[in-house]
Structure 1
Amino acid sequence: MRLFRQLSIQWKITILSFGIVAFALMMVSISLLGYVTSIKEDELSNRTMITAQLVAQNHTVQQWVDAKPEEASRTLQPIVERIRVINDHDYIVLLNMDRIRITHPIPERLQTPFVGGDEDPAFAEHIYLSKAKTEGVVTVRAFMPILNQQREQVGVAVVGSVLPSYADMIQEFWQPALLIGLITALFGFWGSWLLASHIKRQTFNMEPDELAHLLVERDASFNAIHEGVVAINKHEKITIMNEAARRMLGVEEKAIGRNIHEIIPDTKLPEILSIGKPLYQREFYVQGRLVFSNRIPIQIDGETVGAIAIFQDKSDVDRLAEELTGVQAFVDALRVQNHEYSNKLHTIAGLIQLDEGKKALQYIFDLEEEQEEFSGVVMQKIHNDSLAGLLLGKVSRGKELGVQVIIEKDSEFIDHPEGVTTHDLVVIVGNLIDNSLDAFSSTQDQNKTVHVFIGEENDFLKIRVRDNGEGIREEVREKMFVRGFSTKSTSGRGIGLFLIQAIVERVEGKIEVESELNIGATFSIYLPKKRG
């Protein structure tokens, strides 16, 4: 047993499978042997009964069986023995009505009483078969009454044949049985080895203890991940759910092995089984919580056998994104202001060198008044510091590029729509303005303007960015919301409009795009104030 435990799983499966095949072969052989024996018995019974009828209907037998035993034996013994030999029976015994043996293969038993115990019905004109066991040998015997020409019973014919034993049957068929057994065993072993090899490949050539160790490591790894992880098989049964996912989604009951619709009905993970393609960086609500998710199909040899979702609480992502956005905006603002104030200092320095001190002073007052007026309007209308800072930064960036960014006077932002965060608004407004600024990269028009409007319209927060750039070509318009698509060759582009669309779809808003080549483009975003 210790040696068996030390074998590889491939050899264990092979030995067990071959053992099952060998056991099945033995059971079939025993059943077949019993069936053949039964057929042999039926055949001997029929032959024995036919011979008994043949003997009983013989005219010589009918005439002499009731004669004196000595004379009857001399007449009938040769005839009956010839019939016995021809039909291959072990014995044929004729009995007169006194139950004296008239014929018998053993001469010493002639003219002696018949002792069988099963002959009485035959003397009452009954025809039947019986079995007799003597000295371990089973004989099937046919009893047939002998009638004379007047239809009177004058004796009984008993025909007996020894039934072959199991040992006799095996000895008779041992050569073909051995050949069949060897061929079956060979193919059984070969099939067992193929099955074991297939199972071994399916388990990546790993032993059970290695698989168990790997499973423990996998569970520990998944539970150590801060992000939630949920996986399903092709039958939509949950196969993985780590502790972060349970905590994030409030799942306390046993989930592994259950249908995902019973545990997390709004996960949107089963749709990956249908489309067979990954969906990255999507935002949606699960169990009433906004999450940021990547959903990926699990494929083996091109067939989708499951799907896995890795997701984060959107509030955590937004918190980090807002921090990063604030830092980036601060850096951009410093860079733009550094460039802008360098130009203004050069202008002031030039006026002073020309002894135009009054003009230089007036220039400084005008700049101060302009900056205070613009900043005051933005801060009064836009009641969100991050969004207001973004707009101020984009206006300065536009000046640097020679584009006038105009915040429309009727713009006003007071409160967020339901489900929309400050980060979402920064992403939408920032990317739309950046795209409009990029629209002037190949135009020579000196009057470059970008108009920005943020305000409420009916039950929506409307964000509109309009420019008079080169417009959007039809082939670009068809692909512009696809992740990674960009008309610019710079790496890392092609994500802005994709993110905007993801935010809008998440809150069930809508996007309207109007464009005309060489005239400009207008993007209008509508975010519902209340979801549902």
Structure 2
Amino acid sequence: MATLGKKRVRAVRRHLSLATEHLVLQLLIIAVVMAGVIAVSVDQATNDFERSESRRSLSAAESLAANPMLRALLPEAAPEMGAALPAMAESTRSISGLEFVAVADAEGKIITSSYPQDIGKSLINSETNVLEGRAWRGEVKRENERILLAQVPVLNDKGQLIGVVEAGQSYPHTIEIFRVVAPNALITLLICLLLGAGGSFLLSRRVKYQTRGLEPREITELFEHREALLHGVKEGIISIGPDQHVTLANDVAIDLLNLPLDCVGRTLKELNVQPSVIRALMTEQPEPDREFLIDEKVVVFNRMPLHSRGTDMGSVTTFRDRTELTLLEQELGDTKATSDMLRAQTHEFANQLHTISGLIQLEEYDDVIRFIDGVSFSRSKTLEEITQRILEPTIAALLIAKASVIAERGMELILASDSWLPRCEDSMAKDLTTVIGNLIDNAMDAVAESEIAKINLRIDTAEEHVTITVKDSGPGLDPEVIEEIFTQGFSTKTVQKDRKRGFGLALSRLVCRRRGGDILAENDHGAKFVATLAQFKKEDSA
């Protein structure tokens, strides 16, 4: 039953509205404040009582001690002897409004008192110094009751102590004091309740307007869902404010952009983000899937601006790593080029077979033999030069295909006589395919309009690395942009709408650096590219 009751209380708490929660909180605060106010009021009333009653008791005692008749009767007075002293004490008590007045002899023994049971007792306590001839005020306890009193010495004409006058008042009970302060406290409580209820209502309306009518539990649920979604997706998500401050970033974004874990709240310049990435995060993006090269990764960006009630809230950018996919696209492009080349050779072989068939029908047998020998010699020479020097089948097939395409375009591919490439592991062969294919394609574009269209290729293999040198007979590179050609998106050629330019050389450098090497460009009677790849991967060597 107790567990069930706790569950019900929790359920009620969960379903309390924001206004109700604020009102309950205000009431609790008001209750605490009122308790403090009442305690302070009671303490203040007690202090006021002490100040006023202490002065009144002292004044009444001094007035009675200075009475000549009391000073004349006191030396001979004894308990319950005569009515003059009791009459003077009672008169003083009535006039002053005090609770009691007592008169004692020089030794402090009570002669007359408003409390008859105290007659004959001593009024001297451990704190008083009245017997030394000085007045004293203080607090004593009698029969579990606090009493505020004043004691004044009675002196004769010679200044000798002949008696003591005591006057006092009992402290009022707390309930009596509370009855005095209760009306003001109730008025204050009512005013606080009205102000608290009105403030809670206005505050809840203001908060709901800012939170679009959501209750705190709903905001909590949204936050939890957002955190789960933010850190559960495999894409990077980063939110940038109008002032370039990072307002949100998930784990993938921090990893891909090489950001510190405390990047939220800092500007992109403080985080030393690459200028190209800053442009991607801050500029409008008319088309989706913009590719950028970040260190050794090809990252695809998609930016969405944010606006709320006419206010610019910045933007949210999602991005993903497409390095492997881009490399695969390059390989697929090479494969497609190879298949196109084979298809073209199929037509070429068909034409040659038709020629041979025609010569046979014309019974020109000598011409048939010469034609076959010429075609055979040309093909076999190219195949022999490549297969003797390039033992890796993947690269050999690529060069044969590229040589055929180059020949069809009226160009010439020259493989250096000292080139050498043994068989490689699969990953190395794949990286070499990307680099060699991109460099040859770049050279083909460079010599497309040259009168002498030659492409020189050299492959050197050492124990630890492979060096690829591609030189063309084109116009060469502009010295001002010789370093920019390796930047993603940069191209010296006209960009067609259906083709992405500016990533071939960037990807080649990416592959080389991932292999612990690099790629350099220079002018040597045309453009010359030298690419170096280690036989092992960079991460393997670590």
TM range (shorter): 0.5 to 0.7
Say whether 1:509 aligns with 2:517: yes
How far off is 1:139 after superposition? 6.5
State the distance in 2 between where 1:343 and 1:436 align: 30
Q: How far off is 1:210 after superposition?
A: 7.6
Equivalent residue in structure 2 for 1:47, among 49, 52, 60: 52
- The offset of 1:506, in angstroms, is 1.5
Q: Normalising to structure 1: TM-score of the pair?
A: 0.68
Deviation at 1:174, TM superposition (A): 3.1
Residue 422 (structure 1) aligns with: 429
Aligned-partner Cα distance in 1 for 2:92–2:182: 35
- Note the C-alpha offset of 1:391: 0.9
Deviations 1:311-347 (A, max 9, x none): 99x6xx7997698467424422224425655786798
For 2:13 and 2:320, the matched residues in 1 are separated by 36
State the partner residue of 1:129. 139
Counterparts of 2:526 and 2:350 in 1: how far apart (Å)? 32
Instruction: State the AA in 1 paired with 2:28.
Output: F
TM-score by length of 2: 0.67
For 2:216 and 2:446, the matched residues in 1 are separated by 53
Task: Provide the secondary structure at the position in 1 that maps to 2:486.
Answer: coil
Give deviations 1:70-99, integer Å, cap 9, x for gaps. Answer: 5456667666656x4xxxxx6253211164
Residue by residue, what CA displacement relative to the aligned partner does 1:159-203 show, whole Å, maximum 9, x if unpaired? 455365334323234334432443244435544665677678899
The aligned residue for residue 182 of structure 2 is: 170
2:336 aligned with 1:328:
yes
Question: Which deviates further from its counterpart, 327-336 or 395-404?
Answer: 327-336
**Secondary structure of the residue that 1:484 maps to in structure 2?**
coil
| Alignment partners' CA distance in 1, 2:414 and 2:431 | 21
Give yes or no for contact 1:45–1:140 (8 Å, CA) kept in 2: no
Query: SS of the counterpart of 1:128?
Result: strand
Aligned to 2:459: 454
Amino acid at match of 2:63: N
Whole-angstrom distance in 1 between the partners of 2:320 and 2:215: 24
- The worse-fitting range, judged by mean Cα deviation, of 353-362 and 150-159 is 353-362
CA change 1:385–1:58 in 2 (3 A) is same
Contact map agreement 2:331 2:433 (CA 8 A) in 1: no
Moved more, 160-169 or 345-354: 345-354
Look up the equivalent residue of 2:517 and give its one-letter code. Answer: G
Partner AA of 1:450 in structure 2: I
> Which sections of structure 1, spanning at least 5 residues, go unmatched?
85-89, 103-109, 223-227, 242-259, 261-265, 285-291
Deviates more, 1:188-197 or 1:419-428: 188-197
Partner of 1:244: none
Instruction: Indicate the SS of the match to 1:57.
Output: helix
Identity of aligned residues (%): 19
Please, which of 157, 170, 182 is the counterpart of residue 194 of structure 2?
Answer: 182
Tell me the equivalent position of 2:133.
none
Mapped partners of 2:143, 2:102: distance in 1: 20
| 1:246 counterpart residue number | none
2:266 paired residue number: none
RMSD over equivalenced CA pairs, Å:
5.3
Alignment equivalent of 2:528, drawn from 522, 526, 532: 522
Deviation at 1:513, TM superposition (A): 0.8
1:24 Cα deviation from its structure 2 partner:
3.1
Residues in 1 aligned to 2:482 and 2:411: alpha-carbon distance in whole angstroms: 23
CA gap 1:431/1:322 in 2 versus in 1, 3 angstroms: closer
Q: Do 1:460 and 1:526's aligned partners in 2 also have CA atoms closer than 8 Å?
A: yes
Q: 1:155 to 1:403 in 2, by over 3 A?
A: same
Alpha carbons of 1:351 and 1:144: their partners in 2 closer, same or farther (altered >3 Å)? farther
| CA–CA distance in structure 2, aligned partners of residues 218 and 114 of structure 1 | 86
**1:289 corresponds to:** none
5 Å matches for 1:243-322? 270=259, 273=263, 274=271, 277=277
Return closer, same or farther for 1:508/1:409 CA change in 2, 3 Å cut-off: same
* 2:39 paired with 1:29: no
Question: What is the identity, as a one-letter code, of the residue corresponding to 2:400?
Answer: L
Match of 1:473 in 2: 478
Distance 1:439 1:14, change over 3 A: farther
Distance 2:523 2:355 in 1: 39
1:488 and 2:498 aligned: no
CA distance in 1, matches of 2:467, 2:229: 50
Q: Which whole-Å CA distance do the structure 1 matches of 2:164 and 2:300 have between them?
A: 99
- Aligned residue number for residue 287 of structure 1: none
Match of 1:432 in 2: 439
Unaligned segments of structure 2, at least 5 residues? 131-135, 240-244, 264-270, 282-290, 307-312
